[in-house]
Amino acid sequence: MTASSTSAAEGLRRFDRTTSLWGPITMGAGLLVSLTAALYVVFWSGLGITGGELWTAAGAVLATFAIIAVIEPISYFPILGRSAMYQAFMIGNISNKLLPAAIVAQANLDEKPGSRRAELIAGSAIIGAVLVHLVTLVVLVGALGTWLVSVMPVELIAVARTYILPAVFGAVLLQVIVSMKAPRTTAIALGVGAAVTFVLVPLLPGLTYFATAIAVVATIVLAWLLRDRNGAAPTPTETTE
* Statement: residue 235 has pLDDT above 60: no
Amino acid at 217: V
Tell me what pLDDT residue 157 has. 75
Torsion angle of the four alpha carbons 114, 119, 122, 128, in this order, in degrees rounded to the nearest 10: -170
> What is the average pLDDT across 12-33?
90
Confidence class of residue 192 from pLDDT cuts 50, 70 and 90? very high
Confidence class of residue 183 from pLDDT cuts 50, 70 and 90? confident
| Cα–Cα distance measured from residue 69 to residue 131, given in angstroms and rounded to the nearest whole number | 26
Q: Where are the alpha helices (DSSP H) in the chain?
A: 3-43, 51-91, 99-108, 116-136, 145-151, 154-180, 183-195, 201-203, 211-225
In b/e form, how buried is each residue of 210-233, taking b as 16+ CB within 10 angstroms? Answer: bebbbbbbbbbebbeeeeeeeeee
Tell me what pLDDT residue 168 has. 75
The rounded mean pLDDT for the chain is 82
Category of 14 on φ-ψ map: left (φ > 0), alpha (ψ -120 to 50) or beta:
alpha
Confidence class of residue 3 from pLDDT cuts 50, 70 and 90? low
Torsion angle of the four alpha carbons 212, 215, 221, 224, in this order, in degrees rounded to the nearest 10: -100
pTM above 0.85, yes or no: no
